[in-house]
Amino acid sequence: MKTALVCGAGGFIGSHLVKRLKREGFWVRGADLKYPEYDETAADDFAQGDLRDVNFCKAIVDRRFDEIYQLAADMGGAGYIFTGENDANVMHNSATINLNMVDVASKNDCKRIFYSSSACMYPAHNQENPNAPVTNEASAYPANPDSEYGWEKLFSERLYLAYQRNMGMQARIARYHNIFGPLGTWTGGKEKAPAAVCRKVAESKNGRIEVWGDGEQTRSFLFVDECLEGTTRLMRSDFSGPVNIGSEEMVTINQLVRIVADIAGKKIDIDHIPGPLGVRGRNSHNALIREKLGWEPTQTLKAGLEKTYAWIESQVRTNKPKVVPQLQKV
């Protein structure tokens, strides 16, 4: 039986990944500070602990795993990453996790490791035109991410590639672009745009919701199932990356609101308010993934939003907001 370790298994993408690996027949160990918030974990074994602690990392890597997925990170949406208030924590916590995990895996003969980077590492100056953002993989340098979160991702990409060069590791690196779906954070300040819009539309009683900025900033969003398809294909391929895993269906935030309002069957007007925005435009660029994996995401944004809205609307209707456990300050 093949074995996999998923770091960040209590998080949104990690908990979905555990389920997928179980369906594929793997024995799976999950590791995280916390259990998944909205569902039981599907892992055979779940180690609750802090990946900033190298002894915890050593304890969970007690065998030769066939696949290690390192998804744990101190992260959140624009309200968490772009205010500047969490910069030291984001950099310290995520870098420490990556430094620990790649080294422990390498020393325990676990050669194949996946790392989830982010489109946030692309240079800010290439994403000023909302209609034509540049995010092909080669445009990463000269580097100029617009957040410390992006800088840490860039550093860690290089860290995994250095272990590949010098320590015989097989690194697999994806740059995720705005992943969304059911069972993701939808309230509390760390939620991303699709979840925030779904929640606001579901909660709206007066037909109005607030959106940060003028809503003309562009993004693309990828449904979590397709993210995992790309992730596992990359992991089992001969290609290291970094490679974009994202959708090329670019929309403005105002368009995103309209799609969600249609799904909800509500007439929604938008109040534009000041708030943290990130880059003006961002879209995935999928030429490299098409070339290297012969695959790219195909599901429409609307199809993913229908599933996500249905889940968030049921959370709004039936559940109290969950308390998100905070990491210890540096």
Binding site for ligand NAD (CB under 6 A): 8, 10-14, 32-34, 50-52, 71-75, 93, 97, 116, 118, 176, 178-179, 192, 327
CB of 52 to ligand NAD, least distance (A): 4
Pick between residue 73 and residue 173 the one whose CB is nearest to ligand NAD: 73
Is position 38 annotated as part of the catalytic site? no
Least gap, CB of 212 to ligand NAD (angstroms): 17
Distance between CA atoms of residues 134 and 287, nearest Å: 12
Q: Give me the residues paired with residue 244 across strands.
A: 175
Q: Which residues is 99 bridged to in the sheet? A: none
Please tell me the number of Cα atoms within 13 Å of 262 on its side-chain side: 11
Rounded to the nearest whole angstrom, what is the least distance from the CB of residue 330 to ligand NAD in the complex? 11
Task: Identify which of 287, 216, 217 has the alpha carbon closest to the alpha carbon of residue 248.
Answer: 287
User: Sign of dihedral through CA atoms 322, 121, 232, 65?
Assistant: negative
- Which of 251, 327 has the CB closer to ligand NAD? 327
Q: Distance (Å, rounded) from C-alpha 247 to C-alpha 224?
A: 11
Nearer CB in complex with ligand NAD: 268/281? 281
Cα(114)–Cα(133) distance, rounded to whole angstroms?
27
Sign of CA dihedral 7, 13, 18, 20: negative
Phi–psi pair at 307, nearest 5 degrees: -70, -40
Please identify which of the residues 69, 80, 115, 149 carries the catalytic annotation.
149
CB 97 within 8 A of CB 153: no
Query: Which value, to the nearest 10 degrees, does the dihedral of the CA atoms of residues 121, 125, 130, 134 take?
Result: -60
Nearest approach, Cβ of residue 97 and ligand NAD (Å): 5
With CB atoms as reference, the residue minimizing the distance to ligand NAD is: 11
| C-alpha–C-alpha distance, residues 100 and 118, integer Å | 20
Q: Output 172 or 192, the one with its CB closest to ligand NAD.
A: 192
Question: From the CB of 235, what's the least distance to ligand NAD, in Å?
Answer: 14
Nearer CB in complex with ligand NAD: 77/201: 77
User: Across the beta sheet with 67-70, what order do the strands follow?
Assistant: 45-48, 27-32, 3-7, 67-70, 112-118, 170-176, 243-245
Give CA–CA dist 20/282, Å, rounded. Answer: 28
Q: Which CB atom, from 41 or from 164, has the smaller least distance to ligand NAD?
A: 41
CB of 86 to ligand NAD, least distance (A): 12
Q: Which residues are known to be catalytic?
A: 149
